[in-house]
Structure 1
Amino acid sequence: MKFKRSSGIILHPTSFPGPDGIGDLGPEAYRWVDFLAGAECGLWQVLPLGPTGYGDSPYQCFSAFAGNPYLVSPALLMQDGLLKREDFSDRPVFSPTEVDYGQVIQWKLTLLDRAAERFKRTASAELKREFDVFQQDQSDWLNDFALFMAIKESQGGVAWSQWPEPLRQRDSRSIEEFIRKNQENLQRHILRQFFFFRQWQSLRDYAHQQGIQIIGDIPIFVAFDSADAWGNKELFYLDENGQPTVVAGVPPDYFSPTGQLWGNPLYHWDVHRASGYAWWIKRIKATLKLFDIIRLDHFRGFAGYYEIPFGMPTAEIGVWRRGPGQDIFDKIQQALGDLPIIAEDLGEITTDVVELRDHFHLPGMKILQFAFSSDATEPFLPHNYPVNCVAYTGTHDNDTTRGWYHSAPEVERDFCRRYLARSGDDIAWDMIRAVWSSVASFTLAPMQDFLNLDTAARMNLPGRLGGNWSWRMPADALSAPLQARIKAQNTLYRRSVGPEPVVPPKKPTY
């Protein structure tokens, strides 16, 4: 699919300001969309929106289909009459600069439980009808996800591989008995999903009215402790007890000298192939209901993936295996047509990865921070970009541009200054300008770069345990001067996207 020349910003909803300790889908999200529209950006990129599990990572979710209940806006629930002012009387004092997930999760689930209780007692007939339709529309994953979460709660939160064998193995009689005894808990999890999807769809509709497309993210692998692995064991390399035999990761690279040990179960691709990749087609279809464009994370894994024996302490020991290749994309295309997919083709890229990407005319990714360790032939330098690519200053896995520049070797800093013909005193905006002026169809930068923030604002350091995914944007960040500066770049480099003429939509307020 050919992308129209435009630009955008990477900002995950958890990073929005707000009073409840974590960004959400409420008023600040709408203010963000207004900011993008006023800057004439046509793109907003987010990380995966699934329910986060281990390490609070959006790349380790309890489901590939469900939404993150911590993103549900209490302000919007209040507008729906499902929360009252007295429900906020015990709100903790939260940090405005970072997400304290332990404190936030406890608070948000308390509010969601209060909203669920009020929904049962006082929800309008219209809202209940919406809920019924939602349950019907999402029935192919929703009930199983709610069951997984309810059992997990009943077992103290441990991974499903540690559940009693009848539940671990999905013994039909045990499952039926659990469902019969836990209707209220199951309904609670289903309601949380209803709240999330209802709020996200309203926000996405508003973004469309403002001329903005949303780029979402599909992690190639799912978490081991997920409804997907528990409910579809045959699709993964798991032993008779449900433990992985091999796991995912990447060998030593730019990010980590010992590689990255992700620990996700690996796909049994022969089983997927025999089903016509039915699970993957369902996953892509569900994702396109959330986003307009998909960034397919770790695209190279479809050509070949790195297999690490289960139990290894690092990713230094492993072997490369052949992936499904062209076959899976042929089947997806036959089922869903040409798709708006961005291939995340970073890391160790071999000829087969390039051939797979180019066969389907998928744009790859160019990261400017990677460009200055070589010479003028470096593919990450803007003068070498093809039109059909998506160019970034950096992504959520990189340091902020300012942080990168101050920690880079002097030889790279020197090359960077000479290439950009700049002193480096305003390096984040110098690199934004270089990316925006390129021929790349799409250009994006993290919000941290537009705010010229240092390493303290980094979103994720791959391989680091803890301390990731917690950055929050300052409440006064969306200023008129910043918006004007971004708009000027979009105008100067022909990336401006204006909204379609529409009836002014209703925005939520506190």
Structure 2
Amino acid sequence: MRFDRQSGVFLHVSSLPGPHGIGDLGDGARAFVDFLAKADQSLWQFCPLGPTSAAHGNSPYQSFSAFAGNPLFVDLRDLSDRGWLTDGDLKPVPEFDPHETDYQRVTEYKRSMLETAFERFESEATDDEHDAFEAFRERESSWLDDYSLFISLKEEHDRVAWIDWPEELKTRDEGALDRARDDLEAERRYHAFCQFLFDEQWRGLKSYAAEKDISLVGDLPIYVALDSADVWASPAAFDLDENHEPAAVAGVPPQFGDSGQRWGNPLYDWDHLRETDYEWWRSRLSRLFDLVDVARLDHFKGFDEYWAIPADADDPAAGSWRSAPGYDFFETIEREFGDLPFVVEDLGFIDEQLAAFRDHFEFPGMRVPHYADWCREGDMNQPMHYPHSSIGYTATHDTDTTVGYYHSLPDDQTDCLHYNLGVDGSEINWSIIEAVWNSEAVLAMTTVPDLLGLGSEARFNTPGTAEGNWSWRCTYEGLDEGVAERLRDVTDFTIR
């Protein structure tokens, strides 16, 4: 098995406590690491870290880059400590809601602060600080140059998607790109500076977590957003037509009586990627492994076979299954990176072929009690049936909280849950936590809302909806020492 038995907690960075309207990489992040250490946990899991946009509901799964970090996560107090912001710059801080992120207000405030810090950095930073910035730009140039130009061009063109840019920019005419680099030099440098800040602060946080024996569990969406530096800068890696637009898009077919889903993400040109020894993917994973210790592979099914929907079709049923590289891809990746620290999201499409593929590489698959039929004997999502080669969750970023889920159950399912777990439902969040921790799963995970016994108001995301997601936040008071001690007791009794 790729992992020792251990446990941890999910909390996305945006949900951390802090004074500037959204979680950041400063004191709130370190307070959460301290909470995990007090609770005797080994893992901190979070969503993808990339820049998000209001146009995509601020979803971390629709980012402008698979390589860049979200500038909104930069800790402004660190910039004040370094002399690039003053107390006068930071104050008055808007009256942000400590329980919920208002992305528009946060973006306006933090963008202003980051621009001020950049101007002061340019004029007042020491030679060593400038050297560190230039060293970062050189080290990360393989993705940073394209990303900083992409974001600068988006702002130059009123933030419209790159497929709607002038033709010479859309199709990356070299002369047009050279002119844009010259015209947007200051803007490109600003966006590179924001990435420099994120990178330095993240590496500091990662070191702090390592000192506390906490491993960071990142998230790797299989697909990237169409409106991203990734697709614009590397069109050959994707299944695009002669106009640099998707020939087919990702989704899932109808199943269990539903109508399927059309996600709209561009698909990969796996033939081209195989010919290049998966160079684009190797670069992506190299950056990921720089930032995290373990990664969850989203939609693992898509590495084996994927549902391709013609780009001009609205109905997911118009798609068809296509083969992905599967074993060859992971064997190639493993030759470069060694033992791969992956867990996989394999929900909804588990068949013998996928299970064999997953088990061949010994990647733990996900099990979630919310998907259990509590009245069916041997149901795979009941914690007492989790195999050792699995990662058990009490809830995920896409499900309701455990309390919200419990209150939505029909009476027969509630009765069967009580019977199977030997509980009365009075503290259902802790009953589910204890059941997952007592399971055979090699990794056990819960969420902060489940630790606090919160209801549906604290769920992170409701799939299929565009508004009201990714906004819930924890406060410092939520990182309660008594909660940490209770989780430590459960962990010491079941995991250690």
- Residue matched to 2:237: 235
Contact kept in structure 2, 1:260 and 1:462, CA below 8 Å:
no
User: Which amino acid is the alignment partner of residue 40 of structure 1?
Assistant: D
Which residue in 2 is equivalent to 1:323?
324
Q: Could you tell me which residue of structure 1 aligns to residue 188 of structure 2?
A: 186
**More displaced, 211-220 or 349-358?**
349-358
Please give the alpha-carbon distance, in whole angstroms, between the structure 2 residues aligned to 1:14 and 1:219: 18
C-alpha offsets along residues 311-356 of structure 1, whole Å, 9 cap, x if unaligned?
A: 4445354222211111101110111111111111111222221111
**Matched residue of 1:461: which SS?**
coil
Indicate whether 1:419 and 2:449 are aligned: no
Contact 1:253/1:347 (8 A) holds in 2: no
| Identity within the alignment, % | 43
Q: Does 1:2 align with 2:34?
A: no
| Alpha-carbon distance, 1:90 to partner | 4.4
280 and 26 in structure 1: CA distance in 2 versus 1, 3 angstrom threshold: same
Alpha-carbon distance in 2 for matches of 1:474, 1:145: 33
Amino acid of the structure 2 residue aligned with 1:153: E
Residue 252 of structure 1 and its aligned partner are, at CA, apart by: 4.3
- 1:58 is matched with which residue: 39, 51, 60? 60
**Aligned 1:77-476 pairs, distance under 5 A:** 77-252=79-254, 257-313=258-314, 315-372=316-373, 375-476=376-477
Distance 1:312-1:268 versus aligned 2 partners, 3 A rule: same
Aligned to 1:321, the other structure's residue is in SS state: strand
CA distance in 2, matches of 1:466, 1:263: 18
Q: Distance in 1 between matches of 2:259 and 2:106?
A: 33
Partner-residue secondary structure (3-state), 2:477: coil
Residues 464 and 316 of structure 1: is their aligned pair in 2 closer, same or farther, counting only changes over 3 Å? farther
SS of residue matched to 1:65: coil
**What's the CA shift for 1:384?**
2.0
Deviations 1:84-123 (A, max 9, x none): 1011224322122111111111111111111111110111
Once the two structures are TM-superposed, the CA of residue 257 in structure 1 deviates from its matched residue by: 3.6
Asked if 1 retains the 8 angstrom alpha-carbon contact of 2:452 and 2:478, the reply is yes
Counterpart Cα distance in 2 of 1:457 and 1:402 = 10
Classify the secondary structure of the residue corresponding to 2:444: strand
**Alpha-carbon spacing, 1:332–1:90, altered in 2? closer, same or farther (3 Å):** same
Could you list the runs of 5+ residues in structure 2 that have no partner in the other structure?
Answer: none
Structure-1 separation of matches of 2:344 and 2:350: 12
Contact 1:47/1:217, CA 8 A, preserved across alignment: yes
- How well do the aligned residues superpose, as a CA RMSD in angstroms? 1.5
Segment drifting more, 130-139 vs 65-74: 130-139
Q: Is the 8 A contact 1:261 1:463 kept in 2?
A: no
Contact 1:72/1:196 (<8 A) preserved: yes
Indicate conservation of the 8 Å contact 2:79/2:117, yes or no: yes
Equivalent residue letter for 1:34: D
> Which digits, 9 at most, give the CA deviation of each residue in 1:194-217, with x for residues without a partner?
000100000000000001001100
The one-character-per-residue Cα deviations of 1:341-375 (angstroms, maximum 9, x if unpaired) are 11111112222211111111111111122123551
Aligned partner letter, 1:67: G
What CA deviation, in whole Å up to 9, does each residue of 1:248-285 have, x standing for no partner? 1223458x944333211011111111111111111111
**Range that drifts further, 124-133 or 190-199:** 124-133
Q: Which moved more, 1:315-324 or 1:394-403?
A: 315-324
Bigger drift between 57-66 and 378-387 goes to 378-387
Residues 327 and 71 of structure 1: CA distance in aligned 2, closer, same or farther (over 3 Å)? same
Whole-angstrom CA distance in 1 between matches of 2:147 and 2:293 = 24
Name the stretch that deviates more: 244-253 or 423-432: 244-253
Matched pairs, number: 494
Alignment match, 1:47: 47
More displaced, 411-420 or 237-246? 237-246
Listed one character per residue, the Cα deviations across residues 103-151 of structure 1 (whole Å, up to 9, x for unaligned) are 1111111111111111101112222222122112111111110011111
Answer whether contact 1:16 1:29 (CA < 8 A) is retained. Answer: yes
CA pair 205-253 structure 1, distance change in 2 beyond 3 A: farther
- Please say if residues 96 and 474 of structure 1, whose CA atoms lie closer than 8 Å, have aligned partners that are also in contact: yes
- Contact residue 69 and residue 199 of structure 2 kept, 8 A: yes
* C-alpha distance 373-307 of structure 1, shift in aligned 2 (>3 A): farther
Q: TM-score, normalised by structure 2?
A: 0.97
State the shift of 1:62 in Å.
0.6
Equivalent residue of 1:220, what SS?
coil
Q: Distance in 2 between matches of 1:11 and 1:390?
A: 16
Provide structure 1 residue ranges, at least 5 long, that are not aligned to the other structure.
496-510
Find the aligned partners of 1:230 and 1:2 in 2 and give their Cα distance: 35
Question: For residues 385 and 128 of structure 1, do their structure 2 counterparts lie closer, same or farther at Cα, with a shift above 3 Å needed?
Answer: same
Q: Check the 8 A contact 2:374/2:417 in 1, yes or no.
A: no
8 Å Cα contact 1:251-1:306 kept in structure 2: yes
Is this contact kept in 2: 1:260–1:463, CA < 8 A? no
SS in 2 for 1:416: helix
Asked whether the equivalents of residues 374 and 420 of structure 2 are also in contact (C-alpha less than 8 Å), the reply is: no
Aligned residue identity for 1:394: A
The verdict on how the C-alpha distance between 1:315 and 1:409 changes in structure 2, with shifts beyond 3 A counting, is farther
Match of 1:507 in 2: none
Q: How much has 1:474 moved relative to structure 2?
A: 2.8
The aligned amino acid for 1:239 is: D
Does the CA contact (< 8 Å) of 2:299 and 2:346 recur in 1? yes
8 A Cα contact 1:2 1:388, kept in partner:
no
Letter in 2 for 1:147: L
Seen in structure 2, the aligned counterparts of structure 1 residues 492 and 292 have a Cα distance that, compared at 3 Å, is same
Q: 1:508 — aligned with what? A: none
Secondary structure at the residue paired with 1:52?
coil
Contact 2:384 2:435 in 1 (8 A): no
Q: Secondary structure at the match of 1:289?
A: helix
Q: Which residue of structure 2 aligns with residue 34 of structure 1?
A: 34
Q: Which residue of 2 aligns with 1:19?
A: 19
Q: 1:279 to 1:476 in 2, by over 3 A?
A: same
Give the Å deviation of 1:245: 2.2
**Structure 2 residue identity aligned to 1:353:** L
CA distance in 1, matches of 2:259, 2:304: 23
Query: 2: CA distance between counterparts of 1:257 and 1:453?
Result: 30
Is the contact between residue 221 and residue 297 of structure 2 (CA under 8 Å) also seen in structure 1?
Answer: yes
Check whether the contact 2:10–2:448 (CA below 8 A) recurs between aligned residues: yes
8 Å CA contact retained: 1:448, 1:457 = yes
